[in-house]
Structure 1
Amino acid sequence: MKNSPRYLAIAQDIITQIQEGKLRPGDQIMTEAQLCEEYVVSRMTVNKALTTLVTKGFVRRVSGKGTFVLDQQVTKYIGAASPGSFSRDMASIHTKPGAILVEYRVVRASEFPSVAQQLELHENDFLHYIHRIRTSDGIRIALSHTYIPCKYLPAVDVSALEGSLYEYLDETYHVHPQALDYSFAALLPTNRQKELLQVDSCALLKSSHRSIIETGELFEYTETYYAGNRFTYKFAPR
């Protein structure tokens, strides 16, 4: 990383060690004092390097214990038992799910014609549009765009959107969406997606699915863009 700030060069060196397997998930990296000595830099420079590694999702700092390499892949299994819920997926692998709300608004279906087609809506029907960053133990894993017809969901508590949407639907409306179908595509991220996911360059896996509720109505359409270096889909036998 020629001509880059020293802290970025240090961060990249540690990333390279992780990618080459010299540092493995769960390993503790050198202390700040050791890193200062190793790279002949100030503690401030080391701290900025570690902050960069945390932001990029390579390490986790534990107060009083040190800094540890994170497993870079979250795995979701698609099959007969797939619930279609990001929060449940994260809980199943013992990580803490989270959400950062980017945008919420009520729109006409005509603004998103492809979504209207997926949900079999008329162009004047209203939709809840929810755009969120999904996280696992604070690491930005995916971007989700969720569309729910207002006729099935009269109002939304916006504060609930930084938690589990499905838990909110269960507790408030006693609604339990179930994934109906999935489609997948590999894409390159836009500059905006890179910014929101805090990644430099990686492929995105776009997952699209519709959900139905107990009465059989099409309740939800969601497009989720997963950072390819942080998330893996596996298909479980039915």
Structure 2
Amino acid sequence: MINKNSPLPIYYQLEEIIKEMIEKEELKPGDLIPSEREFSEKYEISRMTVRQAINSLVNDGYLLRKQGKGTYVARQKIEQTLKGLTSFSEDMKTRGMEPSTKLIDFNVIPSSNGIATKLAIEEGTLIYEVKRVRLADHIPMAYEVSYLPVDLVKGLNKEIVNGSLYEYIENILNMKIGHGTQVLEASIARKTESEILDIHEGAPVLMIQRYSYLEDGNPLEVVKSVYRADRYKFIIDMPRVK
């Protein structure tokens, strides 16, 4: 219940009540939530306060507002633990979801100075530029652009990149991927990204740059990804450093 004498803001208390309803599955994904008026009357609070709580939950990805239809419980976010290098396809399969890929563009281009430096090759060396949308159960999750050296990853084509790139590298080319480094940043979706990911322009997204290396230490790829913040969250296990 709402405690009006609590130091916690009333809108925040309502947020926690709604989140608890979702966690207990009293409200399930796809359910229409009660109206502002219903919340207002039930907890004897202003509709403005209710609206503030609902807006916050929409921004955090718990709720989804549909124009002219109301506000619904959103699908829960996919959790990915940043503990080991895995492919998108592997992540989705472990969650019982069907991974798929929509190829946006596939080109062989001369490497820029920045990409060449990260791949430890000379500027102008030919690289693959692969633009893909990654989907889980047919829902767009991420837009990624990958850069790989042509001389290293031989025989890459559109058919292969429509599947799992890591499976091709390890199972067909027999190269062992050793480790990767990821850099995460918060950002907002630009027009192109919003259209590709089916979200509003300006919606929160997670920008990730990944640098992957083979077991011998040679750089394998540079990947720039944009993840939907309403569908994805990353978890980091941090042991105590003494």
Using structure 1 for the length normalisation, give the TM-score. Answer: 0.68
Cα displacement string for residues 13-55 of structure 1 (whole angstroms, at most 9, x for unaligned residues): xxxxx99957413879xxxxxxxxxxxxxxxxxxxxxxxxxxx
Provide the rounded CA distance (Å) in 2 between the counterparts of 1:171 and 1:70: 37
Provide the rounded CA distance (Å) in 2 between the counterparts of 1:179 and 1:215: 10
State how many pairs are aligned. 180
Unaligned runs of 5+ residues in structure 1 are 1-17, 29-57, 59-68
The one-letter code of the counterpart of 2:105 is E
The one-letter code of the counterpart of 1:118 is K
Which residue does the alignment assign to 1:131? Answer: 131
Alignment counterpart, residue 73 of structure 1, candidates 74, 77, 89: 77
Which residue does the alignment assign to 2:233? Answer: 232
Cα drift, residue 154 of structure 1 = 2.3
What secondary structure sits across from 2:199 in the alignment? coil
Which residue does the alignment assign to 1:7? Answer: none
What secondary structure sits across from 1:160 in the alignment? helix
Using structure 2 for the length normalisation, give the TM-score. Answer: 0.67
Within the alignment, does 1:196 sit opposite 2:196 as a pair?
yes
Provide the rounded CA distance (Å) in 1 between the counterparts of 2:205 and 2:179: 21
Which residue does the alignment assign to 1:102? Answer: 104
**C-alpha RMSD of matched pairs (Å):** 2.6
What secondary structure sits across from 2:171 in the alignment? helix
Provide the rounded CA distance (Å) in 2 between the counterparts of 1:70 and 1:190: 22
What secondary structure sits across from 1:95 in the alignment? coil
The one-letter code of the counterpart of 2:223 is T
What secondary structure sits across from 2:170 in the alignment? helix
Cα drift, residue 142 of structure 1 = 0.3
Cα drift, residue 77 of structure 1 = 0.4
The one-letter code of the counterpart of 2:208 is S
Which residue does the alignment assign to 2:86? Answer: 84
Cα drift, residue 133 of structure 1 = 0.1
Do the aligned residues in 2 keep the contact of 1:104 with 1:158 (CA within 8 Å)?
A: yes
The one-letter code of the counterpart of 1:134 is R
Do the aligned residues in 1 keep the contact of 2:179 with 2:215 (CA within 8 Å)?
A: no
Do the aligned residues in 2 keep the contact of 1:166 with 1:176 (CA within 8 Å)?
A: no
Which residue does the alignment assign to 1:121? Answer: 121
The one-letter code of the counterpart of 2:188 is L
Provide the rounded CA distance (Å) in 2 between the counterparts of 1:204 and 1:237: 23
Unaligned runs of 5+ residues in structure 2 are 1-17, 33-63, 65-72
Cα drift, residue 237 of structure 1 = 3.9
What secondary structure sits across from 1:159 in the alignment? helix
Which residue does the alignment assign to 1:175? Answer: 175
Which residue does the alignment assign to 1:32? Answer: none
Cα drift, residue 70 of structure 1 = 6.7
Cα drift, residue 184 of structure 1 = 1.0
What secondary structure sits across from 1:192 in the alignment? helix
Provide the rounded CA distance (Å) in 2 between the counterparts of 1:26 and 1:93: 20
The one-letter code of the counterpart of 2:111 is A
Cα drift, residue 120 of structure 1 = 2.2
Do the aligned residues in 2 keep the contact of 1:84 with 1:179 (CA within 8 Å)?
A: no
Do the aligned residues in 1 keep the contact of 2:178 with 2:216 (CA within 8 Å)?
A: no
Which residue does the alignment assign to 1:54? Answer: none
Cα drift, residue 105 of structure 1 = 0.3
Cα drift, residue 137 of structure 1 = 0.8
